Amino acid sequence: MDLGPFEGDNSVSCRLASQIPDVCRTEDCCLGIDEAGRGPVLGPMVYGICFCPVSRKQELKDSKVADSKTLTEAERENLFEKLDEAKSYVGWALQILSPNTISTSMLQRTKYNLNALSHDTAIGLVQYALDNGVQLKEVFVDTVGPADKYEDKLSKLFPGIDVTVRPKADSLFPIVSAASICAKVARDRVVKGWNFSEDLGGVDTDYGSGYPNDPKTKAWLLKYLDPVFGYPQFVRFSWSTAQTLMDSKGVTVHWDDDDEDGEKAAQRKNNKSMLSYFSASAGSNDQNPTHQTHRFFTDRRLKSLDTL
Amino acid sequence: MAAKKKRSPSVQTDSWVVIAADSVIDTQKQDSDPAFVRLRNPSTDAASLYMLGGGDVQLFEVKAFDEDFHSWFVGQTVQRDGRLLFVTPMDPLYLILPYLIKSGKEEKFQPVDQVVMDEEFPACSRLLSCTRSLASLHHIAEEKEVGKLKFHRYSQEKTMNWLKKKVERTVIVLKKRNISVGERVKSTTYIRVKSESDYHEEDYLRYAHGLISEYISEDLSKALLKHLQLPELTSPKETEPPSKKRKLSDNPVEAGEDYTKFNSADFVRKPPKKMTAAQKSLAKVDKSGMKPMSSFFSPKVKSEKK
């Protein structure tokens, strides 16, 4: 697996893929989808698909792929090698969603939540397989959110393909297990060799599992909190763990889509009371009611100053 | 979600981001540095910030682009004050004018350095050092020379002509710069329907008059409007209908509607109406993470963390 394309710019989303086995273009195939790194506050989330001809499912099963969570890192690496060796009939593709992508998606003005991001990534990968001529007949997915809704969504998007969405699909279907191994191996490698684009000067890489409840991760987050910038792009800013720390230890930053409510906020924003529209004598609340700055200046947000 | 943030008042900073012409800081030939000064704003009659160039030869006005939620990155530091200050040349006559008008009521010719005096803003006498000041006083005042001394008396007629010229010059610039002078467009998302060529000369005149009025007193602004032969716009207040009077009647007060009928047994609630297509599509929108409408009405005030 060549992580080069992602490591070149690890602030974006990146797709890595194996060669498409020729047999997959001619024979009916099954495809499994799974993800790795959904929960951690550090590092990317990786989506993986694995596909092979339906007729050779048994061979995959015999290679003893299993749910990646039940395997040690060494076993996973081993199994990934095996999958790579089986390139005559097994293909894979990965979508690495950088922590920066996750942060900016979830924190943008029109919120794009993690489930939607996950669904769209999975859909993108299935479309990638179709676009490359893989003869898909069956798709197996480990669920994100309610399984039947997700299954409906995928079935509608890919008519003619038999979509099965199950919780714990990674332990039920070998092709999903294979996908989960690809995803997990990629995530482990990316996290281990994370290229910090920030100049942190000999960064301490002992950040533990990256999960919010890991004390090592918490300690690392405390250590690398910059009061102004918060965190390196390695951290998912949208995680409440990171947000809580930034809110308590960092400088307060105000955005114009911040949720502010209450009368004080209304007053600050110079909102008028609803009542003022109904009274006949409603005057403006300006300090100098006789003087109204010309719109040339107000339109351009230009003000006179009385002091610096 | 993150805890609510309350804004604390801006703290004083000792640096600003300023845009100024090179001539402002060109002090080579001058004996003093350019400086910010507080002077009486002719339009508001309150203090405003101005700048006098080196040797007080030129006057500049100071305007700040000030919008919520802005900060600067300056080199390796963050500046909380996100304002952008503009230091732009200004005709000192605008600031001298109110003093001349005031003394003009005495209808005497006076030496101008006795007129331009202000206990509140002692720096105003420095305005007379500006190269343009004394040379252009004749635009707003009659002059008399006795020996080597010059005396001045405010002239409303001259001033009106001078301001009219200012307005006309402003119109030329407004046209050249394609400034939208038509009816007020209140929202930035509104699309301007009129093309520039549809603006009338009166729109330009009125707009330019408004701009010049930022530099003169309200009385002068009204006089200028007349001088330009522009009718005064009626303010919306006057067009508002008179408030309704409550009808008086001797009859006893009775309930207009009988709500008790809804309590009877034969009153059955109607089934909810079918949603329209638009409502249906709205109901499908991804609302996860969105705040309920009710949260916008909560009166609680969040405490500021230190």
Element (H, E) at A302: strand A302-304
Tell which A residues from 70 to 129 touch B, by Cβ distance under 8 Å.
111, 113, 115-116
Taking only Cα atoms into account, the Rg of chain A, rounded to an integer number of angstroms, comes to: 26
Q: Which residues are paired to B141 by β-bridges?
A: B154
Token digits for B97? 């004018």
Chain B residues close to A256, C-beta within 8 Å: 68-69
- Whether residue B229 is predicted with pLDDT greater than 70 in this model: the reply is yes
A296/B210 Cβ within 8 A: yes
In terms of CA atoms, which chain B residue is nearest residue A260?
B4
Query: Is the CB of A288 inside 8 Å of chain B's CB atoms?
Result: yes
CB-based contact, A199 to chain B, within 8 Å: no
For the ranges A138-142, A266-270, A285-289, B101-105, which has the lowest average pLDDT? A285-289
B62 and A305 within 8 Å at the Cβ level: the answer is yes
A286 pLDDT tier (thresholds 50, 70, 90): very low
Nearest-CA distance B158 → chain A (Å): 25
Cα separation, B92 vs B56, whole angstroms: 11
* pLDDT value at B175 more than 70: yes
Q: Which of A125, A106, A124, A122 is nearest to A114 (CA)?
A: A106
Query: Residue B228 is encoded by which pair of tokens?
Result: 């330009």
- Phi, psi (degrees; rounded to nearest 5) at A33: -125, 135
Residues of A in contact with B300 (CB under 8 A): 261-262
According to the per-residue pLDDT averaged within each range, which of A224-233, B21-30, B162-171, B196-205 is highest?
B162-171
pLDDT band at B84 (very low <50, low <70, confident <90, very high): very high
CB contact under 8 A, A302 and B65: yes
Instruction: For residue A141, report the phi and psi dihedrals to the nearest 5 degrees.
Output: -130, 135
Instruction: Please state, in angstroms and rounded to a whole number, the distance separating the CA atoms of residues B292 and B306.
Output: 29
Per-residue model confidence as pLDDT tens digits over B268-302: 555 555 667 767 666 666 666 666 667 767 665 55
Q: Are B15 and B8 spatial neighbours (Cβ–Cβ below 8 Å)? A: no
The DSSP H or E segment spanning B143 is: strand B141-146
Confidence at A142, pLDDT banded by 50, 70, 90: confident
Can you give the pLDDT at residue A86?
85
- Contact flag A259-B213 (C-beta cutoff 8 Å): no
pLDDT in tens, A73-95: 888 888 888 888 888 889 999 99
Q: Does the CA dihedral B15-B21-B24-B29 come out positive or negative?
A: positive
- pLDDT for the residue A287: 46
- Please say if the pLDDT value at position B252 is more than 80: no
Name the residue with tokens 């918060």. Answer: A230
> Cβ separation of B63 and A305 shorter than 8 Å?
yes
Q: Is the CB of residue A293 less than 8 Å away from at least one CB of chain B?
A: yes
ipTM: 0.75
Cβ–Cβ under 8 Å, residues A270 and A285: yes
CA distance B302 to A265: 10
Neighbour-count burial of A58, counting CB atoms closer than 10 A to its CB (0-12 exposed, 13-18 middle, 19+ buried)? exposed
Taking residues B169-174, what's their average pLDDT?
94
Query: Could you tell me the pTM of the whole model?
Result: 0.72
For chain B, state the CA radius of gyration: 30
Band of residue B261 on the pLDDT scale cut at 50, 70, 90: low
Asked if A82 and A174 count as a contact pair (C-beta separation under 8 A), the reply is no
Whether residue B2 and residue A247 make contact (CB cut-off 8 A), yes or no, is yes
Name the E strands within A100-226.
136-142, 162-166
Residue A4: which residues within 8 A CB-CB, separation 6 or more?
Answer: none
User: Which of A24, A26, A71 has the alpha carbon at shortest distance from A185?
Assistant: A71
Taking Cα atoms as reference points, which of A187, A186, A181 lies closest to residue A65? A181
pLDDT score recorded for residue B194: 54
Tokens of B231: 């009718």
Per-residue pLDDT band for A61 (boundaries 50, 70, 90) equals confident
CA closest to A115 among chain B residues: B288
User: Apex CA B31: angle with CA B26 and CA B36, to 5°?
Assistant: 65
Q: Which residues contact B235 (CB under 8 A, 6 or more apart)?
A: none
- Cβ pair A301:B218 closer than 8 A: no
Torsion angle of C-alpha atoms A49, A53, A56, A62, degrees rounded to 10: 0
Instruction: Give the one of A243, A291, A308 whose C-beta lies nearest to B36's C-beta.
Output: A308
